[in-house]
Structure formats: structure tokens, C-alpha cells
Structure 1
Amino acid sequence: MDHLVVVTGGPGSGKTTLIDHLAGLGYARTVEAGRAIIRDQRDIDGPGLAWRDDALFAELMLSWEIRSHREASVLDGPVFCDRGVPDLIGYHLLQGRPVPEHVREAARLFRYHRRVLLAPPWPEIFSGDGERHQSPEEAERTFEAMREAYPSCGYEVVLLPRVPVVERARFVLDTLARG
């Protein structure tokens, strides 16, 4: 699945802004699981919110990522994925609990481009909103969890520069062009 390119990192680091920009250039993309699940669960007053049932929230995100992977795998590439299945390994690490074997198996089965783009914490652009309740400190811990999770699954992590979105997109496309 070399055409599925993961962009990951902590909240508020410019991931979705970058993916939105790349989509505006005509590239296919996926939608971030966490935000979508939070919206859906709020709409129905459901139990699958991190602050209500963290384990259920993690399972919903895993299902979302698997579905996104399957849908994106049939598209012409590159397809920019707003997070990926190995993010769930990072999520469990962030929560300080063991990674369930089925999550590791999902990360083994649902593969992406060997280079994963990791957005570092960027305090100057970080902001909370109705779906983002994390603090800048939690954003930093999330970044570190992703920096550990992806290499543990055999991926090469490429740090994104903290530059305006047009330059960041150019960096991404140049990185992919190099193979």
C-alpha cells in the first residue's frame, strides 16, 4: 500500500491543515477518526467518547481506521491519511496501558507507505476547540507516542518542518518523489 501516506502527530500540529491543502491540490485523503467519532457520539449522546469510555473510544477509532484504509486502498495515489492504524498503538501507549494483540495484528495487516510523516508539536499554532480538549503537554506526549509506535511497526518516520502549509506540502511531495 505504498500509495497510502500517513500524516500523524499530536493535536494542533497542522496535520489536518496540511492534508486539507493537499486535497485542494487534487490529492485524495482520509478523515481523522477521533474528530469524526467525537462528533457522531456527541450527536447521539453516545458512550464512545474518550472521557466516558476510553476503551470503547479506542475500539471505535480502530474500526474507523480499518474502514478508512480499505476505502483508500482502492483509490489512485497518493492518498494522504489523517492518521493510520498504528496510531492506535500510540494511543494505548499514551494511555499507559498494554497494547491489545488485536491492535498489533491490525497494524501488521493494514500497511501504509514505508515513510510516515510526523508533525512535531507546534505551540505557536496549537489551539483547542469543541473536539480538541488536549493540552499542549498532551500534544507533546501524543507526538512522542507516535514517534515510538510507527517505528515499532517497521515504518520510517520523517519529521515535518514547522513552515507555512505551502512549504510543508512541497516538502511532503518532494519527500515522496524521492521514494
Structure 2
Amino acid sequence: MGIKKIVITGGPGTGKTSIIKELLRRDFVCLEEISRQVILDAQKQGIEQLFLTKPLLFSDMLLEGRKKQFFEADAYTCKLTFLDRGIPDVVAYMDYLGTNYPERFVEACKNYSYDHVFILAPWQQIYVSDNERYENFDQAVKIHDHLVNAYTEYGYDLHDVPFGSVESRADFILNIVDNL
């Protein structure tokens, strides 16, 4: 059996990046979120909120980046690779915005599948806005619902990660992966 691709997803500000950093600290292979880099690159070109002003262009860039990460995961010699978000996240965010999108987005969700998906629920206690995260907490809750719908629609059984310390959340994920 090949490398297991494990997605960690959730709305903005749910602790995904912190968990990825903890897994990296523990020497697991992790592919980090690419949307922040896409946003920063657009801002350097004078586009403050590419996701809002040109959602299809932004989503195309994310789709290509996530497909690249999907194949990049196969290049490692470990048994697990963790990804900060997956391809269905792109569709979920476009659904959240009400953006129409071409069939290639749906086909990518069908053709590139992950072994396990962990989802983090909105957690107001840790939620913080920043330069690349412009959604408020209520919007984060709605995005979470779209993420659940998208991943469920493409046949995934989601593992809900409970609130807790970064270490305990990483332990939770690793315990489930070890027992599957």
C-alpha cells in the first residue's frame, strides 16, 4: 500500500496550521496551506483580496497548487503525508461565495482522492483575523458548513477533531490514523 494522504481541513482560524506545525515538529511530512502564498503574491501585484475580486482565478490557482501537492505527496518515502487542506476545499469556498465554476473543479474532486480527512470546527476562543484571513467568525461557521457538505458530497467520512491543546489535537489525529 502506498503513502496515505491525510487532509486536515476546517474553516479559517480553526487551528489547522498549528496542528500542521506540530506534526512537522514531530517529523511527519506535511504539505502546508498554499492559499496564503497566493494571497500574498496577489497583494504584491496590488490586488488586495483576490479571492473576493477574482474568485475563479484565485480558485484556479489553488486547484492547480493542490493538484501539484497531491502528486508531491507521492514523492516521499514515508507512510503518511499530511496536507493542510485538500481539493474539495476549493469547491467549498466557491460554494460559500455562490461562485459558478467549471466542471473541471468537480472532476478534480472526483479524480484526486485522499485516504482520510480530519475537520476542525470553528472555535471562537482561538479565532483571530489577520491580513490574509478577512472572514469574521460567523463567516467561518458558514465556511465550515460548506466544507462538510463538499467533502461529504465526494464520499468522505470526516473525522471531527475535538477542541484542546495543539498537542492533544495532533495526538487525536495520529491515534485515529494508527488505528485505521
Using structure 2 for the length normalisation, give the TM-score: 0.93
AA matched with 2:126? I
Residue aligned with 2:92, SS? helix
Q: How many aligned positions are there?
A: 178
1:2 to partner: Cα distance: 5.6
> Is structure 2 residue 108 aligned with structure 1 residue 103?
no
Deviations 1:59-89 (A, max 9, x none): 1111111111111122123111000111112
> Is structure 2 residue 3 aligned with structure 1 residue 9?
no
Distance, in Å, in 1 between the alignment partners of 2:19 and 2:32 is 12
Answer whether contact 2:163 2:169 (CA < 8 A) is retained.
yes
Deviations 1:20-54 (A, max 9, x none): 10011001111212111001112233588113211
Name the structure 1 match of 2:80. 78
The one of 88, 91, 96 aligned to 1:89: 91
Distance, in Å, in 2 between the alignment partners of 1:48 and 1:63 is 19
AA matched with 2:11? G
Identity over aligned pairs, percent: 29
- Extract unaligned runs of 5+ from structure 2: none
- After TM superposition, the structure 1 = structure 2 runs for residues 24-173 of structure 1, keeping only pairs within 5 Å, are 24-45=25-46, 49-75=50-76, 76-113=78-115, 115-173=116-174
Root-mean-square deviation (CA), in Å? Answer: 1.6
Answer whether contact 1:48 1:56 (CA < 8 A) is retained.
no
| Residues 112, 135 of structure 1: alpha-carbon distance in 2 compared, 3 angstrom cutoff | same
Q: Which moved more, 1:94-103 or 1:19-28?
A: 94-103
Answer whether contact 1:48 1:54 (CA < 8 A) is retained.
no
Distance, in Å, in 2 between the alignment partners of 1:102 and 1:152 is 16
Answer whether contact 1:5 1:112 (CA < 8 A) is retained.
yes
Deviations 1:90-148 (A, max 9, x none): 112111234531111111111111x3100000000000111111110111011101101
Distance, in Å, in 2 between the alignment partners of 1:128 and 1:93 is 22
Q: Which moved more, 1:9-18 or 1:40-49?
A: 40-49
Using structure 1 for the length normalisation, give the TM-score: 0.93
AA matched with 2:147? M
Moved over 4 A (4+): none
